[in-house]
Amino acid sequence: MSEPNSSQASSKPTTSPMGASTLSKIALGVALLALIGTSLSLIQAQRDLQDQKGIQKTFASLNDNQSEAITKLTKAVETLRSTSTDNQQGVTKINQALQKVLATKQEAHHTLRRANLFYKIQLADLQLRYTHDINAAKTLLASALDDLKALSDVRLQKAATLIQAHLTQLDKIPQDVQSDTLTKLEQLSEQVTNLKLAMHIASEKPKATVQTDDKTASLWQRAVTNTWRGLNQIVTVRRLEGHDSVLVSPLQQQVLLQRVILSLQQAQWAVLEHDQAKYDQYLQRAKTLVTQYFAADDPNTKTFNTTLKSLAKLNIAPPSPSLADVMAALSQPSQEASSQ
């Protein structure tokens, strides 16, 4: 019995002073660690709390900044919208002004071209009335018609129709009458020298006359002589009736031929002037001279008279159309614009 007791007694642990001290240190370390951990947790929690407040402040600051920024942006957008509207209105006004300028420029260009058309028509009208140059007038009218087509203005359609009608009318007028007539008159002038006078050509012999200062002559002889001399000075024989013979000197013969040539040349001038009355007058004068003083049975005279008769039938001044209606049609748009 005493042994078990001794074994139980020997199985109980025994604590030395050194072991108790170690445990105490460990426990103290653990407590310190726990305290440090708690402190760190508190510090972390405090930091977290501070960070959260900072974040909240940051968010609040951001919200304030965003609100202010949004307000500024809103105002900027409104300003831009207002500026854009003003700019758009300004652009619209500029476009309208530009359109007006372009329209004014186009109208000015149109007016200038219409004035050029009017000038061409006026020039063609002068060619027809004064120079009777049909080819030149047709060229001007054709050019004016091309310009009218290029303008494409319905207001000028009437003028274009009238110009076309005048061109058709001018095509029907003979254009070689003037040159042919001048050529025939020139050839006829060259034939004048071949004409044969119908009158006997002889030189006059001096006649014996009684001198008025001859004292031997009787009174009545002197009176007759003086009267005859006076009649010779105031009377010139222009025409003879019947078969009376006329004494014509060589000088008078040349003068007579030159008078016929001059009449034909004056007829040429009338052709250039398109003066029908003068043309007929000068041809009639040449015919009268040939009939009175040249041999009608001579072949040259017959040929001359035949040509002269054919020339007398010509119309050297055919009526030319007036272009006043075309000029009135061109002036009508200008008058309408000025009335507006």
Question: Residue 20 and residue 26: Cα distance in Å, rounded?
Answer: 10
Q: How many CA atoms lie within 13 A of 109 on its CB side?
A: 10
Rounded distance between C-alpha atoms, residue 195 and residue 47, angstroms? 151
Q: Would you give per-residue pLDDT tens digits along the chain (340 residues)?
A: 444 444 444 444 444 545 556 666 676 666 677 667 666 666 666 665 566 566 566 656 656 666 776 777 777 777 777 776 777 777 788 878 878 877 777 777 778 888 888 899 999 998 888 877 888 889 999 999 998 888 888 888 898 999 999 999 888 877 677 888 889 999 999 998 888 887 543 333 444 444 445 555 566 566 656 665 665 555 455 555 545 545 567 788 888 889 999 999 999 998 888 888 999 999 999 999 999 888 888 899 999 999 999 999 888 877 777 888 988 888 876 555 455 5
pLDDT at position 88 is: 77
pLDDT of res. 255 = 87
pLDDT of residue 71: 76
Helix, strand, coil content of the chain in percent (nearest 5):
80, 0, 20
pTM over 0.75: no
Phi, psi (degrees; rounded to nearest 5) at 247: -90, 120
The pLDDT of residue 235: 47
CA distance 63 to 56: 10
What integer pLDDT is reported at residue 4 of this predicted model? 46
* Residues whose CB falls within 8 Å of the CB of residue 43, separated by 6 or more in sequence, listed in order: none
Q: What is the pLDDT of residue 30?
A: 66
How many angstroms separate the most distant Cα atoms in the chain?
A: 251
Helices and strands: H and E segment counts in the chain? 10, 0
